[in-house]
Amino acid sequence: MAMGINGIITVPGDKSISHRSIIFGAMSNGVTTVNNFLNSADCQTTIKAFQAMGVKIEKHENQVVIHGNGHLSKPINTLNMGNSGTTTRLIMGLLSSQPFKANLVGDESLSRRPMSRVAEPLRLMNADIQTSETGTLPVDVNGKQLNGINYELPIPSAQVKSAIILAALNAKNKTTIIEPTLSRDHTERMLKLFSPKSIQKIDNSIIITPHCDIKAQTLIVPGDISSAAFWMVAATIIPNSNLIIKSVGLNPTRMGLVKVMQRMGANIQIINFKDTVEPTADLVVKSAQLNPISLNKEEVPALIDEAPLLALLAARADGISELHYLKELRFKESDRIKTVVEEFKKLGINIKELDDGFLIHGNRNWQLQNSHLDSHNDHRIAMTLKIASQLFNSDIFIENADCVDISYPNFFQDLKSLRS
C-alpha cells in the first residue's frame, strides 16, 4: 500500500482534563474559561450534570465558560451519566459531601460498569452511597458530613483517587491517599492550579487539606494523547507514513504507550516540549518495523486506555507478544479483552484471549476473514479497528462506528484528511 499517513494534525482537547476543568470551575468562585475544551458526548454529560445542579455554563465551539459560585444546588431530576464512567465516579466523590441527595443513572453500557470500587472508600469517609445489588448504577448519593481518612489505593485508579480527593475537599479533617503505583494525576495538577493550599504531595502520598479557597482560572486543555495514540500507531504500521501531531499533552502518567512503542522500535520524536501545568509537545512519527513486546506490570497504568492499540502494534510485529496485567480492560465500555480478540480474528490476526490480556503471534501477512466488524459500541474499539482496516485494500464495515463521538467526534474526517 503506497499511500501512508502524512501531514500535520492537531488532535482534540484531552478528555480527562476537560472533565476536570468543568468540575473545578463549578466548585470555584468566579469565572473559569477553558480553551480547547473537548466537545464530545462524555464531556457534554459532565456539563449537563453541573448545569442541572445550578451552575451557569456557556458553551462556545471549543471554549467553555463556567460561572462558579462555590456551591451546588440539589438537582430537580435524576442525573443522567450517559456513557461516562469518569463523570459518574468523580461526581460520586463530590456529591458525597453536598447538603442534598442525588440519583445517578446511565446508559446500558455504563450500567454494567463497577461503581463499588469508588463507593467503598467513600463509605469509609462516612458517605451514604447506595448502588444496585451488583455494585453498579443506579446510584443514590445522600450527601452528609464526611471524615478525612488515611487510605492506600488497592489498585492504581485515577478515578477512585479523584473521587476521594473531591470528597476530601469538604471533609472535617485532612485526608491522606497513598498510591503504591502511580496513576494519572490530572486531578492533582488541576487542584494545585485552582487551590494550591488544598493539596500536598510527599513521595507516594497525597495530602488533602479541606475548606481552602478554590479560585477560578483560565486554562488551555492540551491535545489528548489517547486520541493522538491512534495517529501514532497508524503512522507507525502503515508504510510510507510521516506525520506531525501538534500540541499533545505529555503528562508523565500518560506516556506509557509512547515509551513502549519506542521500546518496540517505533520512530517517534518529541519536539517543541513545553513544561506547563500539563506538559505539551509535538510528536513526529514515521513508519517503522516493530519488535514483539512483553509488558511490565508497572507500565500498565500509564497506557491502559491505549491497550487495544498496543495489541494492534503487537499484531504487526514479527514474533510473539504476551501482554499481561490488563484485566482492567474487562471493565471498560466493553470487555476490551474479549472484543479485541473477537474482532482481530476477523482480520486474520493470530491472537488468543488470556485472563488478563493477550497472546499475539504477530506478522504482516494478515488474511482477511470477515469484512464486517463490530465496535461493540466502544469508541476505542471502533477507532482501533478503523486504523487496522487501513492495512487492507478491501472495503471493511464497522458496526456502530459513530460511537467515536464519545471521545473524538471528528475522527473519521481527520483520517480522511491524512489519507488524501
CATH of the domain at 143: 3.65.10.10
**267 shares its domain with 411:** yes
**Has 336 been labeled as part of a binding site?**
yes
Structural domain span for residue 406: 6-12+221-419
Among 305, 378, 405, 414, the one annotated catalytic: 305
Chain-centroid distance, C-alpha 297: 19
Among candidate residues 220, 248, 278, the one where a domain is terminated: 220
**134 shares its domain with 269:** no
Among candidate residues 196, 220, 244, the one where a domain is terminated: 220
**Has 162 been labeled as part of a binding site?**
no
pLDDT of residue 61: 83
pLDDT of residue 2: 47
**Has 89 been labeled as part of a binding site?**
no
pLDDT of residue 1: 45
Residues paired with residue 357 on neighbouring β-strands, in sequence order: 354
**Has 263 been labeled as part of a binding site?**
no
**Has 117 been labeled as part of a binding site?**
no
**65 shares its domain with 170:** yes
**One-letter amino acid of 206:** I
Tell me, yes or no, if 335 is annotated catalytic: no
User: Does any domain span residue 1?
Assistant: no
DSSP string, 297-353: GGGGGGTGGGHHHHHHHHHHSSEEEEE-S-GGGGGSSS-HHHHHHHHHHHTT-EEEE
**140 shares its domain with 255:** no
User: Does any domain span residue 68?
Assistant: yes
Closest CA to 343 of 308, 295, 300: 308
Distances (CA, A) of 31 to 98, 228, 259, 319, 390: 21, 30, 38, 54, 44
Phi-psi region of 185 (alpha: psi -120 to 50; beta: other; left: phi over 0): alpha
Among candidate residues 204, 220, 236, the one where a domain is terminated: 220
pLDDT in tens, the chain (420 residues): 448 999 999 999 999 999 999 999 999 999 999 999 999 999 999 999 999 999 999 999 889 999 999 999 999 999 999 999 999 999 999 999 999 999 999 999 999 999 999 999 999 999 999 999 999 999 999 999 999 999 999 998 999 999 999 999 999 999 999 999 889 999 999 999 999 999 999 999 999 999 999 999 999 999 999 999 999 999 999 999 999 999 999 999 999 999 999 999 999 999 999 999 999 999 999 999 999 999 999 999 999 999 999 999 999 999 999 999 999 999 999 999 999 999 999 999 999 999 999 999 999 999 999 999 999 999 999 999 999 999 999 999 999 999 999 999 999 999 999 987
**300 shares its domain with 241:** yes
**251 shares its domain with 332:** yes
**Has 157 been labeled as part of a binding site?**
yes
**Has 113 been labeled as part of a binding site?**
yes
Closest CA to 373 of 392, 345, 405: 345
**207 shares its domain with 229:** no
Per the structure, how many domains does the chain have?
A: 2
Q: Which three cell numbers stand for residue 124?
A: 469509609
**280 shares its domain with 342:** yes
Closest CA to 66 of 169, 216, 186: 216
**Has 16 been labeled as part of a binding site?**
yes
pLDDT of residue 274: 96
**210 shares its domain with 225:** no
User: Does any domain span residue 259?
Assistant: yes
**361 shares its domain with 257:** yes
What single DSSP character describes residue 185?
A: -
**Has 200 been labeled as part of a binding site?**
no
**244 shares its domain with 153:** no
**157 shares its domain with 250:** no
